[in-house]
Homo-oligomer: A and B are copies of this chain.
Amino acid sequence: MAREISRKGKIGQPPGTVIHTGRHKPELKISFFDYTESTLTVHETAKVEECLSFENKQTVSWIDIQGVHDIETIKKIGEHFRLHSLLLEDIANTDQRPKMEDYEGYLFVVLKALSHDTDKHTTLPQQISLVIGPAYVLSFQESDRDVFAIVKERIKQGKGKIRKMGADYLAYVLMDLVVDRYFEVLERFGEKIENLEEDIIHSLTTETVDLLHHLKREMIYLRRSVWPVREVLSGLQRNDSVLIRKSTKTYLRDVYDHSIQVIDTIETYRDLLAGMLDIYLSSMSNRMNEVMKVLTLIATIFIPLTFVTGIYGMNFAFMPFLSDPHGFWYIIIGMAVLGAVMALYFKRRGWA
């Protein structure tokens, strides 16, 4: 639930007040990249001031900040790039819903990067904020799990098309990476659901049901993080600012397709889990029925028989058959016949 909302101590502040609300307070790490196809400048764990001196429209600059609790750094960057105060507020407040906002001169994108905690079978979200300018990209990561490590490596090695393209392509690559991780998370859930499907039919324990309910709950959170991403990406695609080139839009359409695929899979998982709950409930009631049938079978056969023995256990002075030498056997046979008749009746009605 801690994943939900935590705007504590924020209500009543003037709008645009930058306050950090997250749980993560990693050591601040700043990575600075300034590149063209042929040139490359890299600063890592640098002070923010070093990154701001550069500003060259011919090169692509990327500043990646890990840790959004350092309000001062965010403010400095904000001033340098003339960012709106509401935008800075949103970067520091890590309870945003994924969204895309078109400010004049730059675009602002908020996403949730997900990773999977295999021990607790839960999903760990991390807020990613991107500011996309004409020749720069600013990225803010909430925790110290570096989602973008692969891209940094790729830029350094000059692999792929990335060094040849503009800031919008870099932004695309970053968003593509975030969406790609959703597949990773889904794959893990997929495996668990597959196992669950077999368990629910063959070896149903309380743990199975608890896991089922747990997965249903995880899907609710997952869906919440991913649904708005679709709108973000379709918004970027339809956006008519000069910031996103036409060639990049073809790539954005691709990420958009991926996001739809992710949503589709989440919905399928939800349907499957709902179906499993149905299976569980009907198998529960099935077992109950079986147990009840056995109880009823035993009880209805033996209760009348016991009644008969009760009769012959009474201490009346005069009772028929009592002193007959074969009396006992008459009664035993009588009871056997009665029991058989009742058992047969049961079989007929399909109860046993």
Q: Judge if A190 is at the interface, Cβ distance under 8 Å.
A: yes
Nearest-neighbour CB distance to chain B for A63, whole angstroms, equals: 21
Partner of A321, one of B261, B287, B316: B316
Q: How far is the CA of A325 from the CA of B317 in the complex (A)?
A: 7
Q: How far is the CA of A194 from the CA of B298 in the complex (A)?
A: 38
Complex interface: stretch among A29-37, A67-75, A176-184: A176-184
- Contacts of A187-243 to chain B: CB distance below 8 A: 187, 190-191, 193-194, 197, 201, 206, 209-210, 213, 216-217, 220-221, 224
Q: How far is the CA of A327 from the CA of B47 in the complex (A)?
A: 92
From known contacts A1-B190, A180-B10, A298-B300, infer whether A323 and B313 are also in contact, taking CB-CB under 8 Å.
no
- Contacts of A121-138 to chain B: CB distance below 8 A: none
Q: Judge if A7 is at the interface, Cβ distance under 8 Å.
A: yes
Q: Judge if A45 is at the interface, Cβ distance under 8 Å.
A: no
From known contacts A11-B184, A295-B296, A307-B306, infer whether A280 and B280 are also in contact, taking CB-CB under 8 Å.
no
The answer to whether B99 touches A257 (Cβ under 8 A) is yes
The answer to whether A278 touches B213 (Cβ under 8 A) is yes
Q: Judge if A333 is at the interface, Cβ distance under 8 Å.
A: no
Q: Is the interface of A mostly helix, strand, loop or mixed?
A: helix
Q: Judge if A340 is at the interface, Cβ distance under 8 Å.
A: no
The answer to whether A318 touches B314 (Cβ under 8 A) is no
Nearest-neighbour CB distance to chain B for A5, whole angstroms, equals: 6
For the complex, count residues of A whose C-beta is within 8 A of B: 116
Residues on B with C-beta less than 8 A from A322 are 315-317
The answer to whether A260 touches B97 (Cβ under 8 A) is yes
As a 0/1 sequence over residues 339 to 352 of chain A, the CB contacts with chain B under 8 angstroms (1 = contact) are 00000000000010
Q: How far is the CA of A201 from the CA of B213 in the complex (A)?
A: 11
Nearest B residue to A280, CB-CB: B282
The answer to whether B4 touches A159 (Cβ under 8 A) is no
What residues make up the interface of A, taking CB atoms closer than 8 Å to B? 1-2, 4-8, 10-12, 14-16, 84, 86, 90, 95-97, 99, 101, 103, 150, 154, 159-162, 172-173, 176-177, 180-181, 183-184, 186-187, 190-191, 193-194, 197, 201, 206, 209-210, 213, 216-217, 220-221, 224, 250-251, 253-254, 257, 260-261, 264-265, 268, 271-272, 275, 277-282, 284-289, 291-296, 298-300, 302-307, 309-328, 331-332, 351
